[in-house]
């Protein structure tokens, strides 16, 4: 077979005349090109490291400084104030290259100019860091920008340079500040006052005061010390203690899903859709490695931290007995594929060349056409990643540490990402509301064994060409994978395209070696553990109720006519819906970003405020004048926006208390206040899905090119998880999750309350609504 000969560089046979070597020129060519490609990547990393290290300086700016200094010296103007002569005296003399006076002068000028250039870079960086520490612009009313903020914005633009690379601003971003204990305690008590009766509030206030006066000062000193020493005082502990030390299953509890475009259909050929999407993903990785992706900028001015993007590809969560670790490789040239209980290794490159979409389509089709059955224990093997972490760690150590099992597991864990080829079809049908929920359930957990939940993300392809992602949460937050997904869907729709029959463009290369079937030797003892993990995962998946729907009456276009932010509008509607659903309000979690700080991740916005409570209760009573309700709503919206801004600017509540709690555990200090705060359940956990981070196309020209966002499982057993995407001007997608085992929750019932709450608030402002 030609494919087998390409797999090795040479063959030999022993004959009576000696040893007969037969070289494979094609294989040697691929090895040579692969080596060249590897060295190219190394040189690019070195070049980018240098350019990033001197940003906002550049080789051109260095040359300008050198030529200016040299020109002034020829005009007998010493702008160095004697420093060039001083450097010249310290240069070694003798018969070497420094003997000629002109050479010594040029070298002295170059040294002086380089020093001035480096000092200028450090000055600009520190000035930019100081400017980026100003957040007053966030608290100014829309359309009422102060003169100070306008001057500040001009200075930031001036110092930001013209063509920043992805990580150019990392060293210029300010560190996340540690709030004062008194401010955090004050904001915490304010966030729970309306949720507790007088007796409970007095008890909590007493605990908080005791903590603030006795325990907190010592803990705060250690935290401030860490903030001076570490890049970010929260992120490493958040990743370790919230994600990696968790022993419960990742599926449903931690991983989240992302949906495909739902209002347009690019192609319905499963392999073809994957050919384009995988090709686009590796193109994105190529840009990521070369730092050619522009950093995300707030309002086009303020850069966001990009460090989370480093582990997007080639990353796997490795289970451990007490804690997991994230394994990240600098490169991977293949993807792992699952289809009908079999695992495959699919190469992405031929030599140094990335396979074209048509070649990738052919390779995926080969997997789809492969008739071989699963090996014993292979079909449900991935259920190990869906069950308990400690059990998976024990099995991995016992049965996957050597031989063919280790080689096969390495192929999965060292892959760029994981691809699941599903046999069922899913697609959103506006005429069938349940279709979106079924699509979401399939992405969230699938069959519990056809996703590798440990990989940074699993790309899921259904039989009808519809796609989606299941994403592990430890390595990054949702906006990061959203950035990739926007690029990929935009490239698929507007750059790559399909033939009239739905296949990728171009002609395939039939001599490519087929995907490699992974080989396993799974004993019965291991199969029993696999089956046990599957039962745990199946029970968890069956308990999840997911209700996804598209809200059609209006979107952010008409919400803005209420003169409030769309996010505040939706969050207050969620409070009203929850009160109608459960008859009470609850502690509410909304995720916000702290990426304006270096290595920032998230902070909690406690959306259930005194002001939103007042509005909800007034709406429930039904006897207030519309003008009074409008006033209460505006106060609630303003409060929410202020809380969101505080969270984004490092003045949140929960990350500070979390870190104080970690310090107390290290010091062996008991704090009843921190123990109670950290154990409070989030019965309403919410998140807004980011969109249009990349302008791949004009949304006004292509209004139907919208994804439906994504979702996650409920955080509390008797609570709701709500993800929403305010998709353009005219629609909102909601993903509501709960558990069947709770008699108090019902995802569809809560979804209907959300619908009605949105409509009722819109009616207060007489906002005209489109037909449903």
Q: By the 8 A CB rule, do 358 and 506 touch? A: yes
Place of tokens 């996804």: 548
User: Looking at the DSSP assignment, which residues form a beta bridge with residue 685?
Assistant: 589, 721
Distance in angstroms (rounded) separating the CA atoms of residues 183 and 189: 10
User: Looking at the DSSP assignment, which residues form a beta bridge with residue 684?
Assistant: 588, 720
Q: By the 8 A CB rule, do 367 and 285 touch? A: no
Residue 635, C-beta contacts closer than 8 angstroms, at least 6 positions apart: 611, 614, 615
Q: Which SS3 state, helix, strand or coil, does residue 182 take?
A: helix
**Active-site residue set:** 473
Q: What are phi and psi of 425, to 5 degrees?
A: -115, 140
Distance in angstroms (rounded) separating the CA atoms of residues 244 and 319: 9
- 249, two tokens: 């299953």
User: Looking at the DSSP assignment, which residues form a beta bridge with residue 22?
Assistant: 11
Residue 638, C-beta contacts closer than 8 angstroms, at least 6 positions apart: 611
Distances in Å between the Cα of 616 and the Cα atoms of 212, 384, 642 are 32, 45, 19
Q: Which SS3 state, helix, strand or coil, does residue 510 take?
A: coil
Residue 484, C-beta contacts closer than 8 angstroms, at least 6 positions apart: 281, 284, 312
Place of tokens 């260095």: 62
Q: By the 8 A CB rule, do 450 and 574 touch? A: no
Residue 588, C-beta contacts closer than 8 angstroms, at least 6 positions apart: 571, 574, 575, 578, 606, 607, 608, 682, 683, 684, 685, 686
């Amino acid at each position: 077979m030609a494919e087998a000969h390409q797999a090795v560089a040479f063959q030999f046979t022993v004959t009576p005349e000696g040893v007969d070597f037969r070289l494979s020129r094609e294989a040697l060519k691929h090895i040579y090109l692969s080596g060249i490609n590897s060295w190219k990547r190394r040189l690019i990393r070195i070049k980018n490291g240098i350019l990033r290290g001197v940003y906002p300086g550049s080789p051109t700016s260095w040359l300008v400084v050198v030529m200016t200094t040299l020109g002034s010296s020829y005009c007998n103007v010493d702008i160095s104030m004697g420093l060039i002569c001083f450097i010249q005296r310290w240069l070694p003399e003798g018969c070497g290259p420094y003997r000629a006076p002109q050479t010594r002068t040029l070298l002295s000028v170059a040294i002086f100019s380089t020093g001035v250039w480096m000092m200028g870079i450090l000055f600009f960086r520190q000035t930019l860091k100081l400017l980026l520490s100003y957040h007053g612009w966030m608290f100014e009313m829309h359309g009422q920008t102060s003169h100070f903020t306008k001057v500040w914005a001009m200075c930031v633009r001036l110092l930001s340079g013209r063509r920043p690379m992805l990580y150019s601003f990392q060293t210029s971003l300010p560190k996340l500040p540690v709030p004062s204990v008194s401010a955090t305690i004050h904001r915490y008590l304010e966030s729970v006052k309306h949720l507790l009766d007088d007796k409970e509030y007095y008890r909590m206030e007493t605990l908080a005061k005791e903590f603030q006066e006795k325990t907190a000062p010592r803990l705060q000193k250690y935290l401030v010390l860490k903030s001076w020493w570490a890049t970010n005082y929260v992120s490493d502990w958040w990743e370790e203690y919230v994600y990696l030390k968790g022993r419960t299953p990742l599926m449903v509890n931690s991983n989240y899903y992302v949906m495909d475009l739902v209002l347009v259909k690019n192609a319905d050929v499963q392999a073809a859709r994957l050919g384009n999407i995988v090709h686009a993903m590796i193109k994105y990785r190529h840009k990521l490695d070369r730092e050619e992706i522009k950093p995300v900028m707030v309002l086009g001015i303020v850069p966001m931290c990009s460090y989370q993007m480093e582990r997007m590809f080639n990353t796997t969560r490795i289970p451990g007995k007490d804690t997991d670790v994230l394994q990240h490789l600098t490169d991977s040239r293949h993807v792992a594929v699952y289809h009908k209980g079999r695992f495959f290794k699919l190469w992405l490159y031929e030599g140094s060349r990335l396979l074209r979409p048509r070649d990738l389509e052919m390779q995926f089709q080969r997997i789809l056409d492969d008739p071989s059955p699963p090996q014993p224990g292979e079909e449900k093997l991935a259920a190990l990643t869906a069950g308990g972490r400690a059990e998976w760690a024990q099995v991995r150590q016992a049965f996957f540490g050597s031989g063919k099992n280790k080689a096969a597991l390495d192929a999965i864990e060292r892959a760029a990402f994981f691809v699941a080829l599903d046999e069922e079809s899913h697609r959103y049908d506006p005429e069938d509301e349940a279709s979106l929920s079924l699509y979401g359930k399939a992405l969230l957990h699938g069959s519990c064994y056809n996703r590798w939940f440990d990989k940074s993300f699993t790309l899921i392809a259904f039989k009808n060409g519809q796609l989606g992602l299941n994403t592990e949460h430890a390595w990054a937050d949702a906006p990061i994978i959203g950035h990739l997904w926007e690029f990929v869907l935009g490239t698929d729709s507007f750059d790559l395209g399909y033939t009239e029959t739905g296949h990728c463009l171009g002609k395939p290369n039939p001599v490519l070696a087929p995907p490699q079937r992974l080989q396993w030797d799974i004993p019965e003892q291991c199969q029993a553990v696999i089956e046990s993990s599957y039962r745990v995962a199946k029970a968890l998946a069956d308990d999840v109720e997911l209700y996804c729907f598209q809200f059609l009456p209006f979107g952010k276009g008409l919400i803005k006519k209420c003169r409030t932010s769309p996010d505040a509008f939706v969050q207050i509607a969620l409070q009203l819906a929850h009160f109608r659903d459960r008859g009470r309000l609850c502690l509410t979690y909304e995720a916000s970003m702290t990426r304006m700080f270096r290595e920032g991740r998230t902070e909690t916005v406690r959306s259930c405020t005194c002001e939103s409570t007042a509005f909800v209760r007034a709406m429930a009573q039904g006897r207030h004048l519309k003008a009074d309700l409008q006033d209460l709503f505006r106060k609630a919206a303003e409060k929410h926006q202020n809380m969101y801004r505080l969270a984004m600017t490092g003045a949140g509540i929960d990350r500070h208390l979390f870190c104080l709690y970690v310090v107390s555990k290290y010091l062996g200090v008991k704090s009843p206040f921190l123990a109670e705060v950290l154990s409070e359940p989030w019965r309403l956990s919410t998140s807004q899905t980011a969109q249009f981070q990349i302008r791949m196309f004009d949304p006004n020209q292509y209004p139907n090119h919208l994804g439906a966002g994504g979702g996650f499982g409920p955080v509390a057993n008797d609570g709701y998880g709500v993800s929403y995407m305010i998709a353009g001007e005219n629609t909102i997608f909601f993903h509501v999750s709960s558990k069947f085992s709770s008699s108090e929750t019902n995802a569809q019932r809560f979804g209907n309350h959300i619908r009605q709450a949105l409509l009722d608030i819109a009616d207060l402002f007489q906002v005209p609504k489109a037909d449903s």
